[in-house]
Chains A and B, each alone.
Chain A
Amino acid sequence: MATIEFLLTPFIACLLLILINVYFGIHVIKREIIFIDIALAQIAALGSAVAMVVFVSLHPEIAHDHEHHNVFSYLFSLAFITMAALIFTFLKHSKITIPLEAIIGITYAIATTGTVIVLDKGAGGDIHVHDMLIGSILWISWHQVTKLFIIVLLVGLFHLIFRHKFRQISDRSSPDTMTVKNPYLWDFLFYLTFGLVVIEAVNVAGILTIFAFLILPASVSILLSRDWKRRLLTGWGIGLFVVVTGLYLSLKMDVPCSPVIIVLLAAVLTVTLLAYRLSGKKRSKAI
């Protein structure tokens, strides 16, 4: 009974993450901006690193006041994410002859190395790359789950209400051929809402876990089905299955749960790819 109680918070958190990330994953693959989540996470990290340095230099006497510090660093992360969203929105233009993914990659590199420089110069704190990558979802508190729930609910509702607009801009990659009014505004809102989710999700589960939740189930669902509704349902189904098995296995075998979930997701993807290839061959033979 105690184990069930212990696993309840990570389980709910995983479900929330799957729910929102599969949806965004399908968008992200459609837009061919696969690595945007890692880039945004790193930009948020740069924001909180800058916040830390500014905070310490402003109030050296209360440097360990975590309550204030958290709000402060969240605001900085938010500001940096907004800036990145603006950059991505403006540089997706037919006049810019390089793919948007290249811009995303460059921002990612700047953000990562920028964080290293800032931390080097300022507080001298070392970055725990390992923790940043896989997080510690098993130790999530009810408070964090509530925060995650609120963000997922708000962003989810927003996307549900305006789903047609978001779908249209993702289905057609160039904003110049759009029927939606103000494609730039919707692009910006897409990046911004995604950034909000990423800040919260990466705090809870780490960059790599979120990346896996985003890309792997969505890839499987894109291979298996064609329309949006079915893709979402397939992605969620796979996610649910993997989260339940992953948490169970990590408890039984006493290994960290995030890598197990990632490896399981990869296994599901491999099986699907093989099945897809085989059935594809059969189909072409039949023709």
Chain B
Amino acid sequence: MHENIVFLAPPVLSCIISAGILGYYGNHILSRGIIFIDIAVAQVAALGTMIGLLLGYAEESMNVQLISYVFTILVLLLFSLIRVRKQRLPREAIIGIFYCIALGMALLLAEKIPGGSNFITKTITGNILWVTWGKVLHCTILFAVIGTVLFIFEKRIRNLTLNQDRAGEKPLSERWPDLLFYVTFGIVIVKTVPIQGIFLVFILLIAPAAIAGLLVSSWQKRIFWSWIIGAAGSVMGISLSFMLNISNGPAIVCILGLSTLIIAFLKLLMKKRPAKEKL
């Protein structure tokens, strides 16, 4: 029992830490209606890594990571700047287009790199069991710094989030918190996806924020509860995966995802009754 706890401590801790920062971003992302941005960003980062590999650098080298960051940040800058005044194309559609192009190009490149298609599979799954204490510490420090920066500018970012529809009218100089938001988000995604896999990051972003959004309404409470729910879901998922002997990432995803759907349906039932009585 003791050995198990020692073995499982780093993955559990890394999930709890990521749940905090991802829960914060999740609330913003839900309010902005750009749900799939994380999957698109992760795909762009993977494309950057593949281009690095194609240029002949080793997989975990500085150069490859640098190319990956540059790619991600460029695309996010582009994304935050694309604002047609009367938005005929929803922003989610633009995300879909980015995703599609990045994945299409990655597939073309995969033919050129030995083991290229393996690489595409690897980005999808990830494996949190192999996370080391060093990586956990590294992530904690990075997220603490980003968290502090976000906390300082939280009011301005929230302002832009809640006024998304009119953000296009503002001059570029007033939209710098948006840039800050997207760039830090890109860094977090590039850091977390190789450890946890696209789907675990995606569900930690969306599901806790969705549950919190359904249950409480004030902004601070939503962020607080997102973290709690994300952390609880991770702990439950990992212990369940251990008991049933299934992979841990998928277990967390299924637990958090299914609870969101169940809570949504419960809310539908609960709220319907008083409405009918009024009629």
Contact = CB atoms under 8 A, between A and B. Distances in A.
Contact of A116 (B101, B247, B272): B247
B30 interface: yes
A54 interface: no
B267 A106 contact: no
A212 B35 contact: no
B107 A102 contact: no
B253 A110 contact: yes
Interface string A74-98: 0000000000000100110101111
B199 A91 contact: no
A98 B30 contact: yes
Interface stretch (A28-36, A183-191, A192-200): A28-36
Contact of B120 (A130, A211, A255): A130
A263 B106 CA distance: 11
Contacts of B100: 208, 211-212, 215-216, 262, 266
Contact of A34 (B90, B101, B207): B90
Residue from the set B30, B210, B247 with the largest chain A CB neighbour count within 10 Å: B210
Interface residues of B, number: 52
A256 B111 contact: yes
Interface string B222-262: 00000000000000000000000011011101100110110
Nearest to A269: B97
Nearest to B96: A34
Contact of B107 (A98, A101, A107, A134): A134
A269 B108 CA distance: 19
A123 interface: no
Given A97-B213, A133-B103, A266 B97 contact: yes
Interface in A96-121: 96-99, 101-107, 109-110, 112-114, 116-117, 120-121
A259 B100 CA distance: 10
Interface in B258-277: 258, 260-261, 264-265, 267-268, 271-272
B89 A219 contact: yes
Given A96-B264, A222-B88, A262 B101 contact: yes
Q: Interface range on chain A: under 10, 10 to 19, 20 to 34, or 35 or more?
A: 35 or more
A93 B261 CA distance: 13
Interface string A154-192: 000000000000000000000000000000000000000
Contacts of B79: none
A85 B224 CA distance: 32
Nearest to A97: B213
Nearest to B95: A34
11 contacts: A29-B89, A91-B261, A91-B265, A103-B264, A104-B35, A113-B249, A117-B251, A216-B97, A222-B89, A255-B108, A259-B108
Nearest to B34: A101
B121 interface: yes
Contacts of A109: 199, 202-203, 206, 253, 257
Contacts of A32: 33, 90, 92-93
Nearest to B108: A259
A150 interface: no
B214 interface: yes
Contact of B257 (A96, A107, A219, A266): A107
Given A96-B267, A263-B105, A266-B101, 7 more contacts: A103-B210, A112-B124, A116-B247, A120-B247, A133-B103, A208-B104, A266-B104
A264 to B, nearest CB: 10
Nearest to B84: A280
A99 B35 contact: yes
A2 interface: no
B206 A95 contact: no
A1 interface: no
Interface string A116-149: 1100110000000110011000000000000000
A259 B97 CA distance: 14
A29 B93 contact: yes
B110 interface: yes
Nearest to A220: B89
A266 B206 CA distance: 28
Contacts of A208: 100, 103-104, 107
Interface in B177-227: 199, 202-203, 206-207, 210, 213-214
Given A96-B268, A109-B257, A102 B93 contact: no
B264 A91 contact: yes
